[in-house]
Structure 1
Amino acid sequence: MLERGLSSNTLEAYEGDVKKLAQYCKGLKNQTPESITTNDLRSFFGLLSELDILASSQARILSAIKIFYQYMVFENNLTADPAALMEGPRLLRKLPDVLNIIEIQDLIAAIDLSKPEGMRNKAIIEVLYGCGLRVSELVNLKLSDLSLEIEFIKVIGKGDKQRVIPIGTEAIKFLQIYINEYRVHQTLKYGYEDYVFLNRRGAALSRVMIFIMIKDLAKKINLNKNISPHTFRHSFASHLVEGGADLRAVQDMLGHESITTTEIYTHLEKSYLQDTIRQFHPRS
């Protein structure tokens, strides 16, 4: 019941969410999560709303707390589940920020290829945008996951679920240049021999490093958008949908459990699109 195939990142987030509740309980005459009532839980979420915590974050916190109490009941540490009647906040479907093809080209052109990490960073953005990967999927990508001769790669997504997705020709081109002309000269740290993207010490990159690199590029071209590695995933999906790609195919490539998650991309404004975006992915 409790083993849901959650990723280590999700489990870590859930643990942090339960700790937030435990911290709140200390202010209730030093109560604990095991001793509070449903009304106490409602007060806790009322506080989260007052603090302007996003509804999506509140929903995740409630999910973590529900799993915690289900476990406590399952282990006979509690006789009743105080979260059983709790309902999640109403989520607003927020349209994700996207980049147009010109902005993506400008970001790529801003990469300093004279630096040792230049070609690596160019390959990173091409793969993020060319495959719609999550940043966690990118940093964990292995050489053994690449089947570039048939234009496919294998990734491990949320819940350790594996999927095989196509990779565009531009992404293949710069990925091969990076691997064959730059990565091959690096000294590899033990245990990271199979990782595609490496830092200067020959180990895997962190998600934070990718985030900082993209923020620096945005600043370099004076891009007035708040972007992150996930922005390229949104752009990948919305450009495909706007170009006429089948929604189910995009769902499979993104690794979405539900088609409703992918359908958000059908509601994006079209004004940002350039004339060159006419058929599917513009860099494929």
Structure 2
Amino acid sequence: MGTIRKTKYNFYQADVLDFEGKRIRKNFKLKADAQAYINMIEKIKYESKLVGLNLMRKRKDIFEAIEEAIQSKLRLRERSIKKYTNVYKQFENFVISQKIHYIDEFLPEHATQFYNLLLSTNAAPKTINFYLMTIKAMFTELVNMDLLTRNPFSHIKQLPNRHKTLNERQEDYFTEDEIRALFNINIPEIYKRPLLALYLTGMRFEELSSLEWDDIDLTKNLITIRTDGEFKAKTITSERDIPISKALKNILVGYEKKCDFVFPSVQNKKLSERTLLTAIKRYSKEAGIRKNATLHKLRHTFSSHLTMGGVNYEIKRYLLGHKPETMTDRYTKIDPSKLHSQLDCLDNILKLSDNTVTKE
């Protein structure tokens, strides 16, 4: 047991051995604080002894668990890393406010408090559900590691997402007429090629901007999306092979390769999202499209037009690089080399005129 002595400077010095037998001396203004510190060290020593005798499960520091959860996301893209890190850091602030040190101290009551705190922010159900899913998954992993017996978030249910109105759903994508209007005006080639590619492949912008000529197989007519070098696929299921449609092949064949990137910037460097976003907003307005034009809306349009063209759910999920949601999805294997005809509906929608691509 540790001891307390009063120093000549009127401090109370706690003198105690830690669980490794190392002496610790620490000064406090109050004797009660010095005694509390000794009690804490003795508790840690006692619990360590019980763990060594297999009479108690080893306690996991909750801040260590949060840091490990952050580290597990580092293979994702930078934007996703920031998104998850923000959630974990805000959860960490809540843990600090509750003076919790170990994962087994985080109780279902704390989970309810955190849930109510999220509700008080008036954030969208989608945002709140992402927070809940992320933190719940962290505790699930701790249960799987046998560091906890029960997930404290197991009683928390996700909020139902608000169903969009018909007008709101129509705002999510471009209609066939809007797509034809957009791509039938004179857009400089440096912008038109990547915009067409986003529509004809459903790729995310980062996938498109990182695409290099080594990822293009014009013999098999396939685009390969893989984590490689500086590019990180959003998820494992984002790695896929996308069929090259006839319209897209017409763009790629005979194209002068000025650098490694398939769709480079004017300076033959990696294309920036802001540059292409500015372009689609400008040319959508010129085409008479009143909707808020974004690059991701082309991905929504790709999915919507495939559905209208009769393409089934499993194929769309694969082409978009979405993760399987059911066991049937996991069992279903897709051969991308047999999907080229599925994209004919997009080529038919375009009906491009001969003078729509202009040199800049």
Superposed pair shares fold, TM > 0.5: yes
Partner of residue 22, structure 1 = 92
Query: How far apart in 2 are the matches of 1:46 and 1:29?
Result: 14
Give the Cα separation in 2 of the matches to 1:211 and 1:222: 17
In structure 2, the residue matched to 1:246 is: 312
Segments of structure 2 that go 5 or more residues without pairing to the other structure are 1-68, 227-232, 327-343, 352-360
Map 1:103-122 to 2 at 5 A.
Answer: 103-110=178-185, 112-113=187-188, 119-122=189-192
Aligned residue in 2 for 1:49: 119
Q: 1:65 aligns with which of 135, 141, 156?
A: 135
Letter in 2 for 1:16: N
Q: Which of 215, 223, 242 lines up with 1:165 in the alignment?
A: 242
1:124 correspondence with 2:201: no
The alpha-carbon deviation at position 154 of structure 1 amounts to 1.4
Alignment-mate amino acid for residue 302 of structure 2: F
Secondary structure, counterpart of 1:165 in structure 2: strand
Distance of aligned partners of 1:155 and 1:93 in 2 relative to their CA distance in 1, 3 Å threshold: farther
Kept after mapping to 2: 8 A contact 1:154/1:165: yes
Partner of 2:345: 280
Matched residue, 1:194: 260
Residues 114-170 of structure 1, C-alpha deviations (whole Å, 9 max, x = no match): xxxxx1210111111111112222122121111234332112353244211212222
Q: How does 1:65-84 map to 2 (within 5 A)?
A: 65-70=135-140, 81-84=151-154
Letter of the aligned partner of 1:88 in structure 2? Q
**How many equivalent residue pairs?**
249
Is the alpha carbon distance of 1:42 and 1:242 closer, same or farther for their aligned partners in structure 2, counting shifts above 3 Å? same
8 Å CA contact 1:155–1:163 kept in 2: the answer is: yes
- 5 Å-filtered alignment, 1:209-224, equals 209-224=275-290
Separation (CA, whole Å) in 2 of partners of 1:249 and 1:75: 35
Equivalent of residue 217 in structure 2, options 147, 163, 167: 147
Please give the per-residue CA displacement for 1:43-79, whole angstroms capped at 9, x wherever unaligned. Answer: 3333433433222222222222123334566789878
Pick closer, same or farther for the CA change 1:120–1:176 going to 2, 3 Å.
Answer: farther
Report the CA distance between 1:222 and its aligned residue: 4.5
Give the corresponding residue for 2:76: 7
- The answer on whether the counterparts of 1:22 and 1:32 sit within 8 Å (CA) in structure 2 is no
Say if 1:173 and 1:90 are closer, same or farther in 2 by CA, change over 3 A: same
Match of 1:265 in 2: none
Identity %: 23
Q: Give the aligned residue type for 1:158.
A: K
**Maintained 8 Å contact 1:18/1:68:** no
Structure 2 counterpart of 1:169, one-letter code: K
Query: CA 1:45 to 1:165, structure 2 compared with 1: closer, same or farther past 3 Å?
Result: same
TM-score, L = length of structure 2: 0.57
1:256 corresponds to 2:326: no
Distance 1:71 1:45, change over 3 A: same
Classify 1:101/1:259 alpha carbon distance in 2 versus 1 (closer, same or farther; 3 Å). farther
Gaps of 5+ in 1: 114-118, 185-192, 261-278
Give the root-mean-square deviation of aligned CA atoms: 3.6
Structure number with greater CO (CA < 8 Å, separation at least 6) is: 1
Bigger Rg over Cα: 2
Kindly provide the amino acid, as one letter, of the partner of residue 142 in structure 1: E
1:209-257 CA distance string (max 9 Å, x none): 4333323333444522123222112211221221223333323222233
Cα 1:215–1:17 shift into 2, 3 Å = farther
Q: Which residue of 2 aligns with 1:269?
A: none
- Determine if contact 1:21/1:33 at 8 Å carries over to the other structure: no
Query: How far did 1:36 drift?
Result: 5.0
TM normalised by structure 1 equals 0.70
Q: Which amino acid aligns with 1:138?
A: L
